[in-house]
Amino acid sequence: MERIETTIIRNLIHNEDFSRKVIPFIEPSYFENRSEKIIFEEISSFIVKYGSAVTIEALNIEVENRSDVTDDEVKEIREINQYLNDSPVDQQWLLDVTEKWCRDRAIYLALMESIQLADGKDDKKGRDAIPSILSDALAVSFDNNIGHDYLLNYEDRYDFYHKKEEKIEFDLDYFNKITKGGLPNKTLNIALAGTGVGKSLFMCHHASSVLLQGRHVLYITMEMAEEKIAERIDANLLDVSIQNLNDLPKNTFEKKVVSLAQKTQGQLIIKEYPTASAHAGHFKTLLNELALKKSFRPDIIFIDYLNICASSRYRAGSNVNSYSYIKAIAEELRGLAVETNVPIVSATQTTRSGFASSDVDLTDTSESFGLPATADLMFALISTEELEGLNQLMVKQLKNRYNDPTIFKRFVIGVDRAKMRLYDCEQKAQEDILDNGQEEEYNKDEKVSKKSFAQFKF
User: Splitting the chain (458 residues) into consecutive groups of 10 residues, what average pLDDT does each group show?
Assistant: 84 86 89 91 88 85 89 87 79 90 92 88 78 82 74 87 87 94 95 90 96 96 92 94 92 94 94 92 92 92 92 78 87 94 93 62 69 91 90 93 91 94 88 54 44 43
- Is 238 inside a domain boundary? yes
* Distance from the Cα of residue 231 to its chain's centroid: 26
Q: What is the CATH number of the domain that holds 325?
A: 3.40.50.300
Do 122 and 225 have their domain in common? no
- Is 449 inside a domain boundary? no
Of 118, 138, 158, the residue at which a domain comes to its end is: 138
For 339-380, the DSSP string reads HHTS-EEEEEEB-HHHHT-SS--GGGBSS-THHHHH-SEEEE
H or E element, residue 184:
strand 183-184
Position 299 scores a pLDDT of: 96
- Is 147 inside a domain boundary? no
> Which residue stretches of 119-245 are H helix?
130-138, 154-161, 173-178, 199-212, 226-238
Do 130 and 239 have their domain in common? no
- Is 306 inside a domain boundary? yes
Do 300 and 392 have their domain in common? yes
Q: pLDDT tens, 354-398?
A: 555 566 767 667 666 778 889 999 999 999 888 899 999 999 999
Do 175 and 92 have their domain in common? no
* Cβ contacts of 103-110, under 8 Å, gap ≥ 24: 103/137, 103/138, 103/140, 103/141, 105/27, 105/29, 105/30, 106/27, 106/30, 106/136, 106/137, 106/140, 107/134, 107/137, 107/138, 107/140, 109/29, 109/30, 109/137, 110/134, 110/136, 110/137
- Is 258 inside a domain boundary? yes
Residue at 401: amino acid letter:
R
Give CA separation, 278 vs 87, 124, 286, 349, 407, in Å: 54, 18, 11, 19, 37
Let me know how long the chain is: 458
Beta bridge partners of 111: none
* Distance from the Cα of residue 407 to its chain's centroid: 28
Do 132 and 260 have their domain in common? no
Q: State how many domains the chain has.
A: 2
- Is 248 inside a domain boundary? yes
Q: b vs e for 113-147, b when ≥16 Cβ sit within 10 Å of the residue's Cβ?
A: bbeebeeeeeeeeeeebbbbbbbebeebeeeeeee
Do 131 and 256 have their domain in common? no
Do 179 and 94 have their domain in common? no
Q: b vs e for 178-216, b when ≥16 Cβ sit within 10 Å of the residue's Cβ?
A: bbebbbbbbbbbbbbbbeebbbbbbbbbbbbbbbebebb
Do 112 and 45 have their domain in common? yes
Position 442 scores a pLDDT of: 45
CA dihedral 272, 381, 410, 379 (to 10 degrees): -40
Q: Give me the chain's average pLDDT, please.
A: 86
Do 250 and 114 have their domain in common? no
Beta bridge partners of 219: 270, 302
- Is 155 inside a domain boundary? no
Position 355 scores a pLDDT of: 54
Tell me the pairing of strands 392-400 and 410-416. antiparallel
Do 309 and 180 have their domain in common? yes
Do 79 and 181 have their domain in common? no
Q: What is the CATH number of the domain that holds 72?
A: 1.10.860.10
Q: What is the CA radius of gyration of the chain?
A: 28
Do 33 and 120 have their domain in common? yes
Q: Which domain holds residue 92?
A: 4-138
Of 121, 138, 155, the residue at which a domain comes to its end is: 138
Q: How many helical (H) and strand (E) elements, i.e. helices and strands, does the chain have? A: 18, 11
Of 98, 119, 138, the residue at which a domain comes to its end is: 138
* Of residues 188, 189, 195, 221, the one with CA closest to residue 350: 195
